[in-house]
Structure 1
Amino acid sequence: MNPPERLPIDDRTARLPFDDRTAALPIDEATVALPLIDPSKPEPETRGTAASNSAMMAIGSLVSRGTGFLRTAVMAMALGGFLVGNAYTTAQVFPGMIYELLIGGIMSSVLVPMIVRARKQDADRGEAYTQRLLTLSLIVLGITTVLAILCAPLLALAYASKATVASKDLITALSYLMLPTIFFYGLSGLCGAILNARHSFAAPVWTPILNNLVVIGTGVFYMVTFGTELILPGQMTRTQVLVLGGGFLLGIVTQALALLPALRRTGFRFKVRTDFRKLGLRHLGRVGGWMFCYVIVNQLALMLLFNLLNRSPEGKAGALIYNNVFLLLMMAHGIFAVSIITALLPRMSAAAVDGRAEEISHYLSRGIRMVTVLLAPIAVIYSVLALPISVALFQGFAFTAQASEASRWVLLVAGLTLVPMSVSQLFNFTYYSLQDTKTPALINLPVVSLRLSFQLAWFAATTVAVTAVGMMIGNGLSFIVAGLLSAMLLRRRIGRIGLRGISVAMAKAFVAAIIAAVAGLLTVYLLDANQTASKADAWVAMIVGSIVICGVYGLVALALRTQEVNDVLGLVRRKLGR
């Protein structure tokens, strides 16, 4: 699962535990008024500017996200959109969920800032500190992996209590093969954190491609060997389970091991160090403890979500369809929002160490405006072209037209949650750069309570057939509330965050998005794309509609003098000129 996309609630992450969790946006250093790095404290390992790093990451991320999505489409066509696909999707949530509880949740929020701090303050530039941290983390991961494998039946019961016995048995069988990936998720995440702290961004972006290719190969092999007939969980053989679970495991192992050469090139050498007291465990526990509270609340919400989704009857949107839709959100979120986080978090952390609050505020304001303006047309595309997208990207073989129709309404609602999700994540990582995990954890309590209350109320008041739609609406409401609460509280820490400029950029993006949506709806009507059509017709409608929406949005945004659009166009012109 490609998430983190980092993968929902989540990507991945508010993310599912997807593997391709990093992506990038070409950020123009000329548009950042304040210095990215304190010139009095240079980082010898820094390679290139924010623009060059981000441009390189953008290319890798596009390939990674593209192959990740192809992987999802292949597995959907191999397994179908209903019971077997739901079981596979649920089983692959387990290792990522446990990884998030242990390390994933504190990776960017705690470990990267602490490694950056050690590199700035320690005489050996944090080498020994990082070795101790890696040793302790690998020990914890190893023990947890063994315990998780032993608890596989309990996990299946928690996430699919009302599913059929055959479905729970299939989830358990797949889990035995997938849960060992916890260790390799952790190894991959730790190596990525060390590389990012050393301003080496390429490998964490590119290695998930290897994982995606392995799983794509697994899906193709499965279809060629076992066929594409839609079957029930009780009809799955041990060989089929071994192919699916083993392919998932092999993909993560390949991704993790591929990071080791890159880590070595940065000059880092691993050495087992057991003097863990020198890590400052009290501080690490205090900061990481709040992050653990944040993550465990989200994971409990995730467990409830999957429990409800696994109650969906055959032919209705369940775990796999919901997961596919969230992957689309995470793909757009990763290409734009996560890119800014990945490129700027080390610099925001460095600014926080030196007490440069104004610089942190500048980064945050700039990030929110860029994310909003650049994600708005994608949100319109997802909502207006929901059916053509579902048919074009997923339909085929075991994924039927009925499954595409079920996906349509989930994607339509999901498009509206894209911008709030990305903005709320930007706020979270701003807190993390300040070594503050307590505030996001406390904010998360009322936010998740609101989300769960809405989702349970929706489930009680409506039919099971529309459960996935209600789950997505609940996500969107929680992202909006989280963003508003974070903005109010963060202003007390770093001062003004440029609310006037943010409001103006959002208003311009909203106007351009509404006009683009009208143009998109007219295109859909002229192409008669609101009916389930052939895959070829759906591709035509998706491509033509996307071009119209983006074109109209861009023209309106330029007419409104939206600075962020001009910045991106100027960067593209300069790159082409070179």
Structure 2
Amino acid sequence: MSRMLRASAVMAAGTMVSRVTGFVRTMVLAYAIGTFALGDAYNAAYAIPYSILDLLLLGVLSSVVVPMIVRAQQHDPDGGQAYEQRLLTLSAVALIAVAVVAVFAAPLLIDLYTGWAPTSPQYVAAVTLARFILPQLAFFGVGAVAGAILNTRDRYGAPMWAPVANNLVVIGVFLIYVLLGFGSDVNMVGTGGLALLGLGTTVGIVAQAVILIIALKRVGFAFVPRFDLRNARLGEMGRAGVWTIGYVIVTQLGFMLTTNLASTAGDVVEGHGISPYTLAFQLFQLPYGVIGVSVITSMLPRMSRAVGEGRLDDVRSEFGSSVRLICSLMVPVSLLLMVLGPAITVPIYGHGANSVADAVYIGNVLQVYGLALVPFSLFQLLLRVFYSFGDTRTPVFIGAGTTAVNAALMLLFNALLPARYTVMGLALAYAIAYALGGLAAWWLASRRVRGLGGWTIGMALTRMYLAAMPTAAVALAAVWVVTGVFTGLGFVNSLIVLAVGGGLGLLLYLGVAHRMRIPEVNSIVGMVAGRVGR
């Protein structure tokens, strides 16, 4: 446990810097263009290149490309350098071609991801923004491959800091946009303002790619274009990555439905469309990105080695330790999100082009997403059980089932709920789908490893929820008292609620969990106390 905790803490510290600057980036974005038509247009255009990259590259990068690079380094006479050069050449040429095609196909892509009429101002703005943003496909893809090569050489600094540079560049662009006074009215912004937003976003990705390429050169990698693609092992890569690509396709279809429903709701009720969904989802993902990803990154190699050596007891032990460690923090955070959602979002998003009411709605969506935090984290952990066995096929079927349930629930809630609650319904569908998907994944993974220690994990989670109940009560009391005395949630009132409900509530959880002798919390408290005492 202590080894996992230390490894995860180191990676979490690096991830935190990137996540925090990304968080500031979304704050400045909301301040500059708001969450109405222009904000929706930007968020729709911004999501498309990431969706394309997921389909073409990112889905197979860690599961297929990195292992193939490692094998080439181990077995090729030149230490794999020629193979790496072929891979970079192929990525650059293919993604440049994809970027060119995507720019010309921007209207079709916006049609696929939104429900806007082609004559609507947000559709026109989104198409223009997409044409400025989509060229980043080439730079982002090449940078991702460069980062993968650096990771295989145990160089983690540049891949960790390059996204920070990207975020800082884009933050600067948004601030320039505000200073130039382009505003948040989609009808008044003009081509110049859209070009600044779109090209500025692309320049951030260019900066990120340049940092990774320079770092690659500094570790002795000399790039020589190689077009002898017969030796690129594309067949092997395709066979290994076909199921991972299938999983990405399934999830992207679900995302496409989400953006279509959200964009249509935003047409009916301004400020209740894609932007609140995007901003709330990013906040929801923050705890998992910092805590969950770090634990999973340190867990998967050890679990894979245990599988390779036939030590299923160690697989169960590693999985159980990871679940308890993640949930020891996710449980109180999820309850705080459900109680303090608007108090979190008002200080962040209730400025500039956004009103306090707009920020409160983002917080309401975040409250619903709080229900999904623990199920989503457990779902991701369970998928790693299959990956440790080299099984990329089963997660596709689990993901397909989860996405199908999510889609059905989204359509149901969209039909039943008024437009102002549509995005909240999308969040609720997400939470229910991942809870059911987690149950299916648990049953299949338990059969694979002959039991996952469900009773032990269930009892541990029960104790964590019991320890977190006083935290939720304190947070709820803070909301009731402050909003009752000061009438509503303004900037200062929200900070008071966060300080009392969030800060005091978390300290209370640590104290109660320590008294209940929850070992994972004791380990965290001990590590922090040790560092403070130095």
TM-score relative to the length of structure 2: 0.92
Q: CA deviation at 1:441?
A: 0.7
For 1:240, the equivalent position in structure 2 comes to: 193
1:351-384 Cα offsets, whole Å, 9 max, x none, are: 5555555544443322221111111121122111
Gap change, CA 1:138 and 1:353, over 3 Å in 2? farther
Alpha carbons 2:115, 2:261 under 8 Å: kept: no
Gap change, CA 1:278 and 1:431, over 3 Å in 2? farther
For 1:304, the equivalent position in structure 2 comes to: 257
Mapped pair 1:108 → 2:58: no
Alpha carbons 2:483, 2:493 under 8 Å: kept: no
CA distance in 1, matches of 2:40, 2:506: 34
Mapped pair 1:286 → 2:239: yes
Alpha carbons 2:66, 2:152 under 8 Å: kept: yes
How much is the aligned-residue C-alpha RMSD, in angstroms? 2.4
Q: How many residues of Structure 1 are paired with residues of Structure 2 in the alignment?
A: 530
TM-score relative to the length of structure 1: 0.86
Mapped pair 1:57 → 2:57: no
1:475-523 Cα offsets, whole Å, 9 max, x none, are: 1112112222222222343444333332222112221222321121112
Alpha carbons 2:471, 2:501 under 8 Å: kept: no
Gap change, CA 1:345 and 1:255, over 3 Å in 2? farther
1:223-263 Cα offsets, whole Å, 9 max, x none, are: 111155x42x2222111011100110011111121122333
CA distance in 1, matches of 2:220, 2:300: 21
CA distance in 2, matches of 1:128, 1:478: 45
Gap change, CA 1:385 and 1:319, over 3 Å in 2? same
Q: Which one of the candidate residues 137, 157, 164 is aligned to 1:182?
A: 137
CA distance in 1, matches of 2:105, 2:80: 37
CA distance in 2, matches of 1:261, 1:354: 39
1:373-400 Cα offsets, whole Å, 9 max, x none, are: 1111211221111111121111011111
For 1:546, the equivalent position in structure 2 comes to: 502
For 1:368, the equivalent position in structure 2 comes to: 323
The one-letter amino acid paired with 1:243 is L
Gap change, CA 1:490 and 1:446, over 3 Å in 2? same
For 1:561, the equivalent position in structure 2 comes to: 517
CA distance in 1, matches of 2:335, 2:98: 42
For 1:149, the equivalent position in structure 2 comes to: 103
Indicate the SS of the match to 2:99: helix
What pairs up with 1:72-471 in 2 under 5 angstroms? 72-119=26-73, 126-163=80-117, 165-226=120-181, 228=183, 230-231=184-185, 233-311=186-264, 312=266, 313-349=268-304, 357-471=312-426
For 2:20, the equivalent position in structure 1 comes to: 66
When structure 1 is superposed on structure 2, of 179-188 and 157-166 the one drifting more is 157-166
CA distance in 1, matches of 2:307, 2:218: 28
Mapped pair 1:498 → 2:453: yes
The one-letter amino acid paired with 1:574 is G
CA distance in 1, matches of 2:310, 2:205: 39
Alpha carbons 1:558, 1:566 under 8 Å: kept: yes
Mapped pair 1:534 → 2:490: yes
Gap change, CA 1:504 and 1:109, over 3 Å in 2? farther
Alpha carbons 1:287, 1:435 under 8 Å: kept: no
Indicate the SS of the match to 1:393: helix
The one-letter amino acid paired with 2:276 is I
Unaligned runs of 5+ in 2: none
Q: Higher helix proportion, which one?
A: 2
Q: CA deviation at 1:277?
A: 4.3
Alpha carbons 1:405, 1:532 under 8 Å: kept: no
CA distance in 1, matches of 2:291, 2:74: 29
CA distance in 1, matches of 2:452, 2:345: 38
Alpha carbons 2:41, 2:126 under 8 Å: kept: yes
Gap change, CA 1:356 and 1:467, over 3 Å in 2? same
Gap change, CA 1:504 and 1:161, over 3 Å in 2? same
CA distance in 2, matches of 1:214, 1:144: 25
Indicate the SS of the match to 1:235: coil
1:424-448 Cα offsets, whole Å, 9 max, x none, are: 1222234334332211111112111
CA distance in 1, matches of 2:292, 2:272: 28
When structure 1 is superposed on structure 2, of 496-505 and 380-389 the one drifting more is 496-505
Alpha carbons 1:391, 1:532 under 8 Å: kept: no
Gap change, CA 1:194 and 1:541, over 3 Å in 2? same
CA distance in 2, matches of 1:113, 1:190: 13
Q: Percent identity?
A: 35
The one-letter amino acid paired with 1:555 is G
When structure 1 is superposed on structure 2, of 541-550 and 79-88 the one drifting more is 541-550
Alpha carbons 1:106, 1:288 under 8 Å: kept: yes
CA distance in 2, matches of 1:359, 1:276: 41
For 2:439, the equivalent position in structure 1 comes to: 484
Indicate the SS of the match to 2:162: helix
